[in-house]
Structures are given as C-alpha cells and as structure tokens.
Amino acid sequence: MSTETHEPIDICERGRAADGTPVTLDRRLFMQFLAFGNSTDSVPLSQALEKAQVSGALYEDANDPHGVALLVLSEDPDYFVTTLRQFLNRPPFSALTPKPEYTTLGRTYAQGYEPDLEDTLFTRPRSRVFDPALRWVVWYPLRRAGSFEQLSADEQRKILLEHGGIGRAFGKAGLGHDIRLACYGLDKNDNDFVIGLLGPELYPLSAIVQRMRKTKQTSLHIAQMGPFFVGKVAWQGRSEPTTDNQ
C-alpha cells in the first residue's frame, strides 16, 4: 500500500494586510471579450444589452467601420455558457459575424501583496470598465516566453516592478489605466494574460504600449502579443448578471 501523502491544494487568491497578516479570498471575476463584424448600427445592440441587464461594455471598432466588441463580466463562469450564450444567439447579436481571433476569457488575480483583495479582484476592475471618462480601450492577449519562468522569484519581481511602474505612472497622471486578467488554460492560443488599457484619449494608450516595449519583460520575455483590438465605448452597463441555475 502506498504511503505517499499530498499537501492540500489551496487555490485561494492571496494578499497581505498592512500588518503583514496573510489574507485570502476564494473568489474572482471572469471577463470575456468577443468581437463581431457586420454591424451597421450599435444602438440596437446597446438597447438589447441594457434590456438584458448585461454587466459589461460595448465598443465600436476603430479599425473596422462594421466592427464592434463586447466585454462581459461575471463572477460565475456558468453565466457565459447559459444566459449569455442564449442572449447572443438571439437578434440583434445573432445577425452579426463573430471574429473568433479576438475571443478571450480571463480572470482577475492577486499577486500576493495586495491588502484589499475585494478591491483588487472586483471593485477596481469593475470601476474601470464602467467609468464613463475612460472612453478609449485597447484589449490584447499575450504569452510570456519560457525564459521568464526560469528566472528566480527575485528576478521576476524586479522585472515586474519595472513593467508595472509604467502603468502606475500613466494611471497617476490620469492618462490610462490597465486591467490584467490571467487566462492560463482558458485561451485557445495558449496565452497567459489578457490586458485591457482604458483611458480618456487614445494616444496615451498607444504610448503605454510603446514604452513597455523597452522593459525587460517585453523585450526579453514575451513570446507573443495580440491581436490588438482598438475601440471606443458605445455602451456601459453596471448591473450584475444572474445565471439560469442560480
């Protein structure tokens, strides 16, 4: 008989209070990004989303005059394959042409030092999606190279601090904010993260990407980025969705 023992598996998000006490939360927010073509008028789409009380945002594609994208938020992943699936298979969205190359599904996550996990995982990302002042968006997936995973924890921390410092500087200046989602095993192209850049104007979002090209993480340890979706808010809805099985 085998005497092998296994440590219990803990999948909680982890943070650390101001006094150093570890904090955990076994909840996170899922976001799905879907793009479509063949849209000549976003108003009926917005009206349908409002009526269905979808929690998310609709964007008009800056690079496609017939393109739109839908970002949907839910704590319960069942929502995406029940209520949302049924909604998208009815008019007006059923008349659109899906662009599956843009489809992503990600989850909020903690890095281990955040004092307020509720804010990190729920309040802050929601507030950015629903902020009417953040009219422009750039959404894209990325995959790190295996070289990053081979670095020591201290080396990874320094690289991430350099990279994150750019985002914090732009955020403090009110020029742009980010939403970072993990998508390990959730992405058909094996990406690691989904990134959303949101701001009042488009140029600063492009400048964020440009400056991050020079960081060690992007220049040395990123295997793939994109495709990039660039758009402007057509509709925002704050209500929380419910699933059929709740």
Q: pTM, whole model, 2 decimals?
A: 0.91
Q: With a cut of 90, say whether residue 238 has pLDDT above it.
A: no
Sequence ranges of the domains in the chain: 30-107+131-236
Q: State the Rg of the chain over Cα.
A: 19
The phi-psi region of residue 175 (left if phi > 0; otherwise alpha if psi is between -120 and 50; otherwise beta) is: alpha
Query: Cα-flanking dihedrals φ and ψ of residue 30, to 5°?
Result: -95, 145
Q: With a cut of 90, say whether residue 133 has pLDDT above it.
A: yes
Residue 134 CA: distances (Å) to CA of 51, 204, 210: 23, 12, 20
Residue pLDDT, tens place only, 151-200:
787 887 787 777 778 888 999 999 999 999 999 999 999 999 999 999 99
Q: With a cut of 60, say whether residue 62 has pLDDT above it.
A: yes
DSSP state of 135: -
Residue pLDDT, tens place only, 83-106:
999 999 999 999 999 999 999 999
The pLDDT mean for the chain works out to 91
Number of Cβ within a 10 Å radius of residue 41: 9
Inter-helix orientation angle 203-212/153-172, to 10°: 160
pLDDT of residue 7: 78
Residue pLDDT, tens place only, 1-29:
555 667 789 999 999 998 889 999 999 99
Instruction: Identify the sign of the CA torsion 106, 112, 117, 120.
Output: negative
Q: Which CATH fold would you assign to the domain 30-107+131-236?
A: Alpha-Beta Plaits (3.30.70)
The phi-psi region of residue 174 (left if phi > 0; otherwise alpha if psi is between -120 and 50; otherwise beta) is: left
pLDDT of residue 153: 79
pLDDT of residue 202: 98
Between 138 and 241, residue with greater pLDDT: 138
Residue pLDDT, tens place only, 209-236:
999 888 877 777 778 899 999 999 999 9
Q: How far apart are CA 178 and CA 138, in angstroms?
A: 9
Q: With a cut of 60, say whether residue 117 has pLDDT above it.
A: yes
Q: With a cut of 60, say whether residue 149 has pLDDT above it.
A: yes
